[in-house]
Chains A and B, each alone.
Chain A
Amino acid sequence: MTDVTRDSSTGARVVVVGAGHAGGTLAALLRQTGFAGSITVFGQEEHLPYHRPPLSKDFTDGQPVKWLRDPEFYTEQKISFLLGQKVVSIDRARKTVRSSLGEDHPYDHLVLATGATPRLLTLPGGDLRGVLTLRDLSDAQRLRSAIDTDGALAIIGGGFVGLEVASVARNRGTEVIVLEREARILARVASEQLSAIMTSLHRERGTQIRTDVEIAGLRGHNGAVVAVLLADGSEIACSSVLLGVGATPREELALHADILCDQGIVVDDAARTSDPAILAIGDVTRRPVPGTEGHRRLESIPSAVEQAQQAASTILGLPQIAPEVPWFWSDQFDLKLKIAGIVTPLSETTLRGDPTTGRFALFHHRDGVLSAVESSNSPAEFMAGRKYIAHHTPIAPSRLADAETSLRDCVLV
């Protein structure tokens, strides 16, 4: 064990665990806001931070990796990365973290940005060759080569990641079947109406979709997957399987340090955990969300960036920025989906536009106030909807339903 001491004469020491979008953004924001102390970022992967959303989109389609910043940026900004290293424990009393090399690194502010890991299914055959998950660059490289060299791709789980990969695979001529446990795809993350529209779109483009499916296991031949076995006894032949059944927060470090976790590190709207010297940001957190009760996990880039801003403000003692309406995007075939707000069960839904053209928006509202908008190729509807949600602007649903009525004229004044 070595004690690695750093020059702290210029200010506090920030240690960030995790070199994803959240950790990388925070490091840059701290410098942008004038933080003069040391910034050390641990990254388990060998790579500097990169944009993760393209991994299920453009990257799988053959585009190069998209870095968050050039390597020179971090040198110029005096941001140190310890890549290929993990943090194995936190000593809260001494304010140090121990690395996988056995070194202790002191901190004044520790930021946990450890992300999430793909949920695995404990299935017979789950460890066969050709059974893939998608989270990081090496996963995406394997998936890309599987799509280009193999036969049929079976995607277990009809969530956003699975459907984005299905779009790319179909565009590249691969046979795709999506197997969903629930009664509809996107069941946990989108309205019934959007699920129905996306089901039609994917089927039109040749993706098979089966819902209410129970998976019994995977069958292999010579160590490689050759079929998905269903509980009803049927089999679906395939050359590779993508498990797209969600992700679990990587909260082990926090749990072992007795920091409050509840399927995610619990944080407030300033990114603070139950330890005042420890912050958490990004996919690992369970966070307050404006307009909803309690805490939620929001696995999205906008949430990670917002929390990076919160953490920077907390570290620097600056006022917090106003909370954002949560939103995220997804690209499937030629549809650019943008979703803002939270679809609540008791809301009514108004459709604007024509789903068969790919250009439409679903407005979810209650008592004339929007709670969510699910838009496709409709940037104005998305932007206006997000604004109306944030300001609780009273709207007239019947006017929203008419795509010829200007969005401004849908507001009741």
Chain B
Amino acid sequence: MPTITYILADSTERPLEVPTGQTVMEGSVRNNLPGIVAECGGGCSCATCHVYVDAAWAHAFTEANDEEAALVEFADGARAESRLACQLVVTEAADGARVTVAEN
């Protein structure tokens, strides 16, 4: 099972095993990590699952669609590495990926 390392607001690192096919958001919610709220339950609606994907791991996930890109563009703390965790589907290629949870 791929391991995703979540870097929380207080800089602690939480490596978690996330089953393939689940999203980075689901892995966080399942383990009750702080920071990823996911109000809409994964519908790419609320932008409350904002994360930064380390540049070295950007290729491990499919590219953002227009809707996601528009949502994160105006999210607080938006950066080039900004993604919505509900759109990051975990595959074997994501094993070892590092994502930093954005501050809400």
Asked if A pairs with B, the answer is yes
Per-residue CB contact flags for chain B residues 25-67 toward chain A (1 = under 8 Å, else 0) read 0000110111001011100011110000000000000000001
Minimum CB–CB distance from B16 to chain A (whole Å) comes to: 13
A379 touches B32 (CB 8 A): no
B30 touches A73 (CB 8 A): yes
Minimum CB–CB distance from A290 to chain B (whole Å) comes to: 16
Query: Among A33, A379, A382, A383, which residue has its beta carbon within 8 angstroms of that of B34?
Result: A33
A258 to B76, CA, bound (A): 41
A73 to B29, CA, bound (A): 9
What chain A residues lie within 8 Å of B47 (beta carbons)? 383
Minimum CB–CB distance from A295 to chain B (whole Å) comes to: 22
A31 touches B32 (CB 8 A): yes
A54 to B75, CA, bound (A): 25
B41 touches A66 (CB 8 A): yes
Residue B71 interfacial (CB < 8 Å)? yes
Once A31-B32, A302-B46 are accepted as A-B contacts, the answer to whether A329 and B40 lie under 8 Å apart by CB is: yes
A380 to B76, CA, bound (A): 13
B32 touches A305 (CB 8 A): no
Residue B13 interfacial (CB < 8 Å)? no
A32 touches B73 (CB 8 A): no
Query: Among B32, B34, B75, which residue has its beta carbon within 8 angstroms of that of A73?
Result: B32
Tell me the count of chain B residues lying within 8 A, CB to CB, of chain A. Answer: 21
Query: Among A28, A31, A338, which residue has its beta carbon within 8 angstroms of that of B45?
Result: A338
Query: Among B32, B45, B48, B70, which residue has its beta carbon within 8 angstroms of that of A32?
Result: B32
A33 to B67, CA, bound (A): 32
In the complex, which residues 48-98 of chain A have their Cβ closer than 8 Å to any Cβ of chain B?
Answer: 51, 53-54, 66, 68-70, 73, 77
A338 to B37, CA, bound (A): 18
A387 touches B29 (CB 8 A): no
What chain B residues lie within 8 Å of A386 (beta carbons)? 74
Minimum CB–CB distance from B58 to chain A (whole Å) comes to: 21
Residue A407 interfacial (CB < 8 Å)? yes
B45 touches A383 (CB 8 A): no
B30 touches A69 (CB 8 A): yes
Minimum CB–CB distance from B12 to chain A (whole Å) comes to: 13
Q: List the B residue with the shortest CB-CB distance to A378.
A: B70
Per-residue CB contact flags for chain A residues 155-182 toward chain B (1 = under 8 Å, else 0) read 0000000000000000000000000000
Minimum CB–CB distance from B77 to chain A (whole Å) comes to: 11
Minimum CB–CB distance from A245 to chain B (whole Å) comes to: 26
Residue A271 interfacial (CB < 8 Å)? no
A305 touches B39 (CB 8 A): yes
In the complex, which residues 70-97 of chain B have their Cβ closer than 8 Å to any Cβ of chain A?
Answer: 70-71, 73-76
A69 touches B70 (CB 8 A): no
A407 touches B29 (CB 8 A): no
A383 to B47, CA, bound (A): 9
A46 to B83, CA, bound (A): 37
Minimum CB–CB distance from A53 to chain B (whole Å) comes to: 8
Once A32-B32, A77-B32, A336-B45 are accepted as A-B contacts, the answer to whether A383 and B39 lie under 8 Å apart by CB is: no
B40 touches A383 (CB 8 A): no
What chain A residues lie within 8 Å of B76 (beta carbons)? 387
In the complex, which residues 289-331 of chain A have their Cβ closer than 8 Å to any Cβ of chain B?
Answer: 301-302, 305, 321, 329
**Interchain residue pairs with CB less than 8 A apart (15):** A28-B32, A32-B32, A51-B41, A53-B41, A54-B41, A73-B32, A301-B40, A305-B39, A305-B48, A379-B67, A379-B71, A380-B71, A383-B71, A383-B75, A387-B76
Interface, chain B (partner A; CB < 8 A): 29-30, 32-34, 37, 39-41, 45-48, 67, 70-71, 73-76, 104
Interface, chain A (partner B; CB < 8 A): 28, 31-33, 51, 53-54, 66, 68-70, 73, 77, 301-302, 305, 321, 329, 336, 338, 378-380, 382-384, 386-387, 407
The 5 A-B pairs with the shortest beta carbon distances in the complex, nearest first, are A383-B74, A380-B70, A379-B70, A379-B71, A384-B74
- Given A53-B40, A77-B32, list of 16 further CB < 8 A pairs? A31-B32, A53-B41, A69-B30, A73-B30, A302-B46, A305-B39, A305-B48, A321-B104, A336-B45, A378-B70, A379-B70, A380-B73, A380-B74, A383-B47, A383-B74, A407-B74
